[in-house]
Chains A and B, each alone.
Chain A
């Protein structure tokens, strides 16, 4: 076992994604504690040029092969299993993204390495790595260690500052061919969202609704409030899944990341997937009937009430 901290890099359209920088920043401090190197592993085809964007790492391992031109769960797993087995890092850090879930749990089962999922903090002390993980939609946090002292961690986006992983540097760059390939899952296409009528990432006031809205007809109430405030309506995932608002209005992990001046979270419990998309808002005001809703942990102002009572009163007050 080495003290190395490996970060599996995620990239798209020729750029490293922010969650990778977040992990790399944390990997640097963890590697200092464990006496190893912060190693970024970059998989792709003809991606050597991207290694320069990973200057915060002490070492970049570029796994280059035609079968890795786009992400595929099987191709990544086939390439990573022998690499992680051989290098025996203390930790493998992976973003809790669509692709990260596949890679992390696949590696855990293939290598018999434990996996701590949904981490929001990760440190190393005398007892080894210690991860703080979110459970039960953010209502519980668990502090966990690995029985054998090493393991895999998937981290929720936004848990660590990306800036710490963006520094310049001159890492050692190793280029290797994938030790194995597996094409049982083949990339076909990347589909991008169509532009909606409103770009919620550019709005300064967002009136955002979740399950607490109850009925589709109540959407009118929040539209009236948004109009009175000069803002736009956005939503959590369930509302988009129900088709009550277009997908382009969805905030969160699989929707859009927003940073408005004001974010009114109405009837949104604040699952980690939602918080990931809006915790950067300048001012968050949450209205929820559940006093224990995790949304209150990121809100600046909180109201424990039924949004159907508060919203008409607020619309009348600001629009009256």
Chain B
């Protein structure tokens, strides 16, 4: 069983986002980047499947984007246990999902796979999710919002859960090869020591492959804006006691919390 995991970095939401001078994108000058959390779940699932008796290799692909640090992302994959890492194409800025899918499809013509896993979504996939876009390009079946991945012992099918609203889940059987958009992993993504990642960035082999642009997303971004937050909320400030006092009064107006208090 050969697994391919597609990963990327996204802006760290712990930092403030700002809009660029054009008003149509993020100001990238001061952004810091982190691995997209769903992609990390996809990697963890691939490593678990490989190590829980199914064997094979885990190959991680990421686009060669100049923003952020794709080498660190791929070295982290190796530190966690990936067998092989490949940087695909060369992009000044993070490309849209359609372009990413086209580039990954180019590279995957040269990589063997039985199962392709990626994050179900990313915080910046305005033009849709890479998993189904790539699958359709490669004429592979795809399932999004997946948990509970189980490989059949004969390695020709995989059983997965797809999540719906209200906690309802559909179980599907998919013929391999297939593409899965992973919602969460059975275990918290494993930790890799920073020292090990730094060492691998110097010593490990990060392969490079060409990946073309494709025709783009076909979307025209007219404007990006930070929505007005708190525009409707009345903000409460003060020390914790003063805040508690005010919230208690708001609740008491509705007859909540008073019976116990008095």
Flag whether A106 is at the interface (Cβ < 8 A).
Answer: yes
Q: Does B231 contact A (CB under 8 A)?
A: yes
Known: A191-B169, A250-B167, A310-B240. A297 touches B142 (CB 8 A): no
Set of chain B residues within 8 Å of A190, measured between Cβ atoms:
168-171
Tell whether A229 pairs with B251 under 8 Å between CB atoms, given A101-B120, A146-B220: yes
Taken residue by residue from 121 to 158, chain A's Cβ proximity to chain B (1 for < 8 Å, 0 otherwise) reads as: 00000000010010111111111111110010010010
Q: Which of B159, B219, B232, B240 contacts A188 (CB 8 A)?
A: B159
Is A45 an interface residue when CB atoms closer than 8 A count as contact? no
Q: Contacts A142-B224, A229-B256, A314-B244 given; indicate if A184 touches B170 (C-beta within 8 A).
A: no
Tell whether, in the assembled complex, residue B218 and residue A147 are in contact, meaning their CB atoms are under 8 Å apart. Answer: yes
The residue that A317 contacts in the complex, of B124, B167, B173, B248, with Cβ under 8 A, is B248
State how many angstroms separate the Cβ of B84 from the closest Cβ of chain A: 26
Total number of B residues with any Cβ neighbor in A under 8 Å: 89
B157 to chain A: closest residue by CB = A186
Given contacts A185-B175, A193-B167, A301-B234, contact A109 B133 (CB under 8 A): yes
- The interface residues of chain B lying within 8 Å CB-to-CB of A312 are 240
Determine, out of B54-62, B63-71, B106-114, B178-186, the stretch whose residues face the partner at the interface: B178-186
Establish whether residues A117 and B256, one from each chain, have CB atoms under 8 Å apart when the complex forms: no
A118–B126 contact, CB under 8 A? yes
Known contacts A73-B143, A144-B219: A136-B124 contact under CB 8 Å? yes
A292 to chain B, nearest CB (A): 6
Contact (A102, B230) CB under 8 Å given A142-B223, A228-B260, A285-B250: no
A116 touches B170 (CB 8 A): no
- Set of chain B residues within 8 Å of A72, measured between Cβ atoms: 172
Cα distance, A229 to B245, chains bound together (Å): 14
- Are B244 and A105 in contact, with the CB atoms below 8 A? no
Binary contact readout A256-269 vs B (1 if CB under 8 angstroms, 0 otherwise) = 11000110000001
Taking chain A's interface residues, is the majority helix, strand, or loop, or is none over half, making it mixed? Answer: mixed
Cβ contacts A to B, 10 pairs, < 8 Å: A71-B170, A112-B218, A144-B221, A185-B141, A229-B256, A229-B257, A230-B256, A300-B233, A303-B235, A304-B237
- Other A-B pairs, 12, CB within 8 Å; known A117-B127, A146-B219, A147-B218: A74-B141, A98-B170, A101-B144, A109-B135, A135-B126, A136-B13, A142-B126, A147-B219, A182-B141, A184-B174, A184-B178, A231-B256
Interface residues of A (CB under 8 A from B): 12, 17, 70-74, 77, 97-99, 101-102, 104-106, 108-110, 112-118, 130, 133, 135-148, 151, 154, 157, 182, 184-193, 204-205, 228-231, 241-242, 247-248, 250, 253-257, 261-262, 269, 283, 285-286, 291-294, 296-305, 309-310, 312-314, 316-320
